[in-house]
Amino acid sequence: MPTIKYYVREGLLPAGELSSPNQARYDESHVRRLRLVRALMDVGGLSVAAIRDVLDAVEDPGRSVHDLLGAAHGRIAPREDGPDDAAREAAVRQAAALIARRGWRVDDGYPAARSLADALAAMFRLGHERFAEVSLDPYAEAAERVAEADMAYVAREVVREDLVESTVVGTVLGDAVFTALRRLAQADASARLYDTAAPDDASAPAAGTEGAGGEGGPGGADEAAARGASRTGGADAAGGSGGAGGADAAGGSGGAGGAAG
């Protein structure tokens, strides 16, 4: 199996137990590691080198879970900062101010802080300086809630191997999950705010026009009235004549009390 051999060669998968000079036996631990590698690569978008660094950190018994989280963040975040211009200087100040304002226990040089500054700088260069004023703190509040959920997921584990794997999975694959959830929520929020046409009303005829039950009566009574009796006059919904004040629901003209469409 060339794929497995490649992963073994790259240090992503431990070697199997040799069963013959050219064959190796792999157990359930290899299968689990292989699934983790593929997930980090295919869903998390990490390179082979980045995955190797993360797995090295996972296998280091001297690393705390907090250190492991930092190692994962360091491999996800871009290594190079953007152009050093006025926009970036302003963005770095905004990122540092946010960290201080929220009381977050990270320094300005943390990989994610640099990534935040890069993203804000790109927005500022495009003239979207107001994003930091309007959206940055609401984003931070949402991020705090997501981080609490992440840590609750990690904290449920007792065995260190499971704990560190949950940290990596929650960090790398959790980004992909949250991005997808955010897009779903954006689509819903956009529909609620801007999509004024209700799907159920798309095929309904306008008031005063011909509907399923016949021509519109005087005053443009709606189609629903054509299907039932006139409320005011007690018209016969099956097509009988209207009552004292009602209209014939089958299409007759309105009586003294009103019209049915």
Q: Around 49, how many Cα atoms within 13 Å sit in the side-chain half-sphere?
A: 2
- What amino acid occupies position 205? P
Residue 61 CB neighbours (<10 A): 6
Burial of 124 (0-12, 13-18, 19+ CB in 10 A): buried
Q: Cα–Cα distance between 167 and 159 in angstroms, integer?
A: 12
Q: Do 132 and 3 touch, CB atoms closer than 8 A?
A: no
Q: Cα–Cα distance between 122 and 163 in angstroms, integer?
A: 36
Q: How many residues are there in the chain?
A: 261
- What amino acid occupies position 135? S
Q: Around 177, how many Cα atoms within 13 Å sit in the side-chain half-sphere?
A: 11
Q: Which two tokens stand for residue 255?
A: 């009586």
* Cα dihedral 138, 139, 144, 146 sign: positive
Element (H, E) at 166: helix 160-168
Q: End-to-end alpha-carbon separation of the chain, Å?
A: 74
The per-residue pLDDT string of the chain (261 residues; one tens digit each, 9 = 90 and over) reads 458 888 999 999 888 888 887 888 888 989 989 998 998 899 888 889 989 988 888 788 888 878 878 877 887 766 666 678 999 999 999 999 999 999 999 987 888 999 999 999 999 999 999 999 999 999 999 999 999 999 898 888 777 778 778 888 888 889 999 999 999 999 999 999 998 765 555 455 554 444 444 444 444 444 444 444 444 444 343 334 343 333 343 334 344 343 333
